[in-house]
Every structure is written in C-alpha cells, then in structure tokens.
Amino acid sequence: MLVQPYLFFEGRCEEALNFYKSAIGAEVTAMMRYSDSPQPPSPEMCAGGSGAGKITGNHIMHANFRVGDTQVMASDGMAQGKAEFKGFSLSISASDDAQAQRLFKALGEGGQVQMPMSETFFATSFGMVADRFGVSWMVINPKPM
C-alpha cells in the first residue's frame, strides 16, 4: 500500500512545478495537459462554461514530480484561481543544517515563514514555511535517535 500527496494548484500547476524544480530540485516525471486527453473536459469545466472552472487545453490535468525518493502528484484542478492547502504540511528532510537552511530559504521565497528555522530537542534545524502557493512545508535535519 502506498499513500501519495496530490496537490491541486487551481490553475498554477506549471508555475508550481517550475518553482519546485528550482527551489528543491524536483524532477517532473510525468505530465499530461487537458489537450493531451482523448476525452475533452466537460463544458462545465471549460473557460466560458456555466460551471466554476476555467480549464483550457493548456492546463495540466495530471503531473507527477519526484523530490528525493518521494513522488508527489499535482494538477491544475478546476483552475478556479486560488488553491487552498489546509490541515497538512509536507515534511522534507535535509542531510545537514546547511541544506536545511537552503531548502527553507528557497521554499520561503515569496511565501510566509510559519516558524523560523531553529534548533529543537528533536532536530538540529527545524522550521515551517508556507510557499508562494500556500503549501505548508516542514524542513528538518533530525537529531540522531
């Protein structure tokens, strides 16, 4: 059994993928746009349709990206404009304090620090930051157990 996060960026998926590539070295392993689908999106999902969505053929229907050994899935969702990521954080482990600082700074570019990077009883470096898309990240270099 495998549990994987699936993030819906509501129209900003490609921007997010490019950000994660430069900020944390993510590798996009798969990407399908709505225009690649043999079945077009329903009129309710399309720009100008009667529904809430603003999907166009250039929007991303599905993508996979890898950060280290972890696969994360992503999409433009219904392209409603503002993604809301609530009630969870993605935790990223650093190999040392310098890498933790680099990751924290890169993820925080254009975002908001939730807890500044500092030493804790469980980590030599730990901090929490919401990136520019609103995804909450916990950056950690854990102390040996």
Q: pLDDT tens digits for 113-142?
A: 999 999 999 999 999 999 999 999 999 999
CA atoms of 108 and 128, how far apart (whole Å): 9
Cβ–Cβ < 8 Å for 61, 34: yes
Residue 46 has what pLDDT? 55
Residue 80 has what pLDDT? 86
Q: For tokens 């030599």, what's the residue?
A: 124
Q: What is the pTM of this model?
A: 0.90
CA atoms of 139 and 90, how far apart (whole Å): 9
Buried-exposed string 123-134: b where 16+ CB fall within 10 A, e elsewhere: bbbbbbbbbbbb
Residue 38 has what pLDDT? 85
Say whether pLDDT at 112 is over 70: yes
Helix then strand then coil, % of the chain, to nearest 5: 20, 35, 45
User: What mean pLDDT do residues 30-56 have?
Assistant: 71
Does residue 15 sit in helix, strand or coil? Answer: helix
Say whether pLDDT at 40 is over 90: no
Residue 47 has what pLDDT? 52
Q: How far is the CA of 9 from the CAs of 29, 77, 100, 129, 142, in angstroms?
A: 18, 6, 25, 17, 30
Q: For tokens 């899935």, what's the residue?
A: 73
- Single-letter code of the amino acid located at 49: G
Residue 50 has what pLDDT? 46
Residue 42 has what pLDDT? 64
